[in-house]
Structure 1
Amino acid sequence: MDSTTDTPWLSADQQVSWRDYMVGTTALTDQLDRELRAAHGLSIHEYEILVRLSEAPDRSIRMAELAGSLSHSRSRITHTISRLQRGGLVHRGQCSEDGRGVSAVLTDEGHAALAAAAHTHVRGVHRLMIQNASDDELAVIGRVFARVLATLDQPRLPA
């Protein structure tokens, strides 16, 4: 394969769209992170972990499964869970299925912190993303990223 002739170079319009996407998603995530940190002392990554735990049966997920679902390394998840554990928001326990693995478990304090932070996060998402797109545009974004996730063999999150 000749890499110089097989490369599907982006058109000028595609390049603009790609760059707007890259800069826009980074800026959006950074702003949502700043708002959560300022109001609740939580990073957006910590918030997402709390969300995943809150949606899991018994508010508990194996650490390896949590890392995979967030596309984070196990060491990054371990470090973040340790921070959340020091704050009393999460604790670690043995996996109920086999007793060999370690699970992260959302505490009542963690659930309360998530409930408070959710208002800040959802207001930010609404102000910065939802208000800037029509329902049709949001549906297109959803369909595109469902295909991206499928191409990357990543599961979609439940609604």
Structure 2
Amino acid sequence: MVATEWLNDIEMSAWRAFIETTGDLQNALERDLADRGLTMGDYQVLVYLSEADGRSMRMCDLADILQLSPSGLTRRLDGLVKSNHVVRRPSNRDGRVMMAVLTDDGLALLADTAPHHVASVRRHIFDHLDAEQTKAMASIFTSIAAGLAADSIPSAAAS
């Protein structure tokens, strides 16, 4: 049995600050997007599609990026499709593949919402940090993301 390496005081303070803040931060950002009729998930879809070639992505690729199951992506897109911000259509290259496509209305909604969202992010996060803290935040989350990515790679021994 491996002995547990308990968090030291500094680590515990950092962990508690993180878990006690992330929910409130997420809720604040969601509330601000709700003013525009969007959820954070909707906004992510609009952003990813706006950055894709032809403002379209294969549904399976979009699901992967958003870390959703195919049915989860379908549910996520339903409201955006109903409001004509996104359309689903077969791929021109392979009719078996479904594409999610950002419409002109969706692009206009994103263009209208982005300044509002950036102001929300600034107000809730960056207005409380100085330049060094912002650099540290970027470094911290880049390191955590790299660790999570490394953890998700199956080892050769498991093959």
- TM-score over 0.5 for the alignment? yes
1:144, CA displacement in angstroms?
1.7
Mark the CA change 1:148 to 1:57 in structure 2 (over 3 Å): closer, same or farther. Answer: same
Find the residue that maps to 2:96 and give its secondary structure: coil
Counterpart of 1:15? 12
Aligned-partner residue type, residue 70 of structure 1: L
Find the residue that maps to 1:153 and give its secondary structure: helix
Question: Which runs of 5 or more structure 2 residues have no equivalent in the other structure?
Answer: 151-159
1:57-103: CA deviations, max 9, x gaps? 11111112112112223222110111110011000122344332211
Aligned-partner residue type, residue 146 of structure 2: A
CA distance in 1, matches of 2:13, 2:144: 19
CA distance in 1, matches of 2:91, 2:13: 47
Give the TM-score normalised by structure 2. 0.87
1:6-47: CA deviations, max 9, x gaps? x22211221221121122222111111111112x11011101
Q: Percent identity?
A: 35
CA distance in 2, matches of 1:50, 1:95: 19
Out of 145-154 and 106-115, give the one that drifted further. Answer: 145-154
CA distance in 1, matches of 2:92, 2:139: 36
Larger-Rg structure: 2
CA distance in 2, matches of 1:61, 1:110: 14
1:2-151 → structure 2 map (5 Å cutoff): 2-3=1-2, 5=3, 7-38=4-35, 40-151=36-147
Mark the CA change 1:66 to 1:17 in structure 2 (over 3 Å): closer, same or farther. Answer: same
Out of 69-78 and 53-62, give the one that drifted further. Answer: 69-78
> How many pairs align?
150
Question: Which runs of 5 or more structure 1 residues have no equivalent in the other structure?
Answer: 155-159
After superposition, the CA RMSD in angstroms is 1.6
